[in-house]
Amino acid sequence: MSETPVIRVERVWTRFGDKLVHRDISLQLLRGEILGIVGASGCGKTVLMREMIGLQTPSEGEVALLGQVLAQADARTQQQLRNRCGVLFQGGALFSALTVYDNIAFPLRELRTLDEAMIERLVAMKLAMVGLEPASAALLPSELSGGMVKRAALARSLIMEPEVLFLDEPTSGLDPVLSEEFVNLLRELHQELGFTIVMVTHDLDTLGDLCTQVAVLADQQLVSMGTLEDAIRCEHPYAREFFHGHRARRVLAVS
């Protein structure tokens, strides 16, 4: 019996008014894979990811998450599906009025069945996992540095022990050292917790270091879906420029 894919995108078209964003996109992702979505700015990478999470509905076609077609799921099923996903938004999207601790504990408290002592231990565990000092739990998001915001947001997206983790530009806005640390952190967590990752990224380093699958979006279509080698071999002009540009050659040669 073949395995049910964690994410199945089938013949998806997306239009905003007259503007066509996605033309007939299909892809599948198996458990434990790390998918990197690349493409030019404004080509609909984030939109595709939002459609996978169910924050947006495609104009045509269907998206299935963990074997459930999102458009057909009722409110309760959708709620349960979202509990099994973690999302790291580009700017962190931490609730600015809550402390880091309350931010991370927020999804747990929403369950309304756990006691505070257990919540405190689980938050402490996640803080340690993402490498944040316990003292930073008392800070407000506005008092954190960029790297700490990303880590706190990652801790919040991991708190429900998700099976699928969605990352929107996980390393943007981090300096190279921090960004490498963050990639290592993601790799370790992936090995330890065994979730599936979907990420939107521009960063070739992240792509080369982390992703087992690469999807290249260009001209509203999916021009390549497969390993990084497949993407590098892709003949589409955008993919050639992306993977064979001066900078890309330098980065990929090193890795």
Among 75, 135, 177, 253, interactor with another protein by CB under 8 A: 135
Q: Is 92 left (phi over 0), alpha (psi -120 to 50) or beta?
A: left
Question: Which one of 39-47, 139-147, 175-183, 205-213 is the stretch in contact with another protein (CB under 8 A)?
Answer: 139-147
Q: Is 127 in the site for another protein (CB under 8 A)?
A: yes
CB nearer to another protein: give 41 or 113: 113
Q: Is 114 in the site for another protein (CB under 8 A)?
A: yes
Rounded to 5°, the CA angle 24-27-29 comes to: 165
Residue type, 173: G
Q: Is 149 in the site for another protein (CB under 8 A)?
A: no
**What are the CA-CA distances from residue 251 to residues 3, 235, 242, 244 (Å)?**
35, 20, 11, 10
Q: Is 97 in the site for another protein (CB under 8 A)?
A: yes
Question: Which one of 94-102, 146-154, 173-181, 233-241 is the stretch in contact with another protein (CB under 8 A)?
Answer: 94-102
Contact 64, 70 (CB under 8 A): yes
Please name the residue that has the structure tokens 């509990």: 83
Contact 239, 218 (CB under 8 A): yes
Number of residues this chain uses to bind another protein (CB under 8 A): 44
Q: Report the relative pairing of strands 196-200 and 34-39 from DSSP bridges.
A: parallel
Would you tell me how many other CB atoms lie within 10 Å of the CB of residue 51?
A: 25
Question: Which one of 122-130, 171-179, 208-216, 223-231 is the stretch in contact with another protein (CB under 8 A)?
Answer: 122-130
CA 137/CA 54 separation, integer angstroms:
30
Q: Is 101 in the site for another protein (CB under 8 A)?
A: yes
Among 28, 56, 68, 172, interactor with another protein by CB under 8 A: 68
Contact 36, 25 (CB under 8 A): no
Question: Which one of 91-99, 181-189, 202-210, 227-235 is the stretch in contact with another protein (CB under 8 A)?
Answer: 91-99
Q: Is 120 in the site for another protein (CB under 8 A)?
A: yes
Q: Is 210 in the site for another protein (CB under 8 A)?
A: no
Contact 38, 168 (CB under 8 A): no
Which among 226, 251, 248, 253 is positioned nearest to 238, based on CA atoms? 248
Contact 207, 170 (CB under 8 A): no
Q: Is 187 in the site for another protein (CB under 8 A)?
A: no
Among 11, 109, 121, 250, interactor with another protein by CB under 8 A: 121
Among 18, 142, 235, 254, interactor with another protein by CB under 8 A: 142
Site residues for another protein per CB under 8 A: 3-4, 6, 31, 66-68, 77, 80-81, 83-84, 95-97, 99-102, 108, 111, 113-114, 118, 120-125, 127-128, 134-135, 137-142, 160-161, 192-193
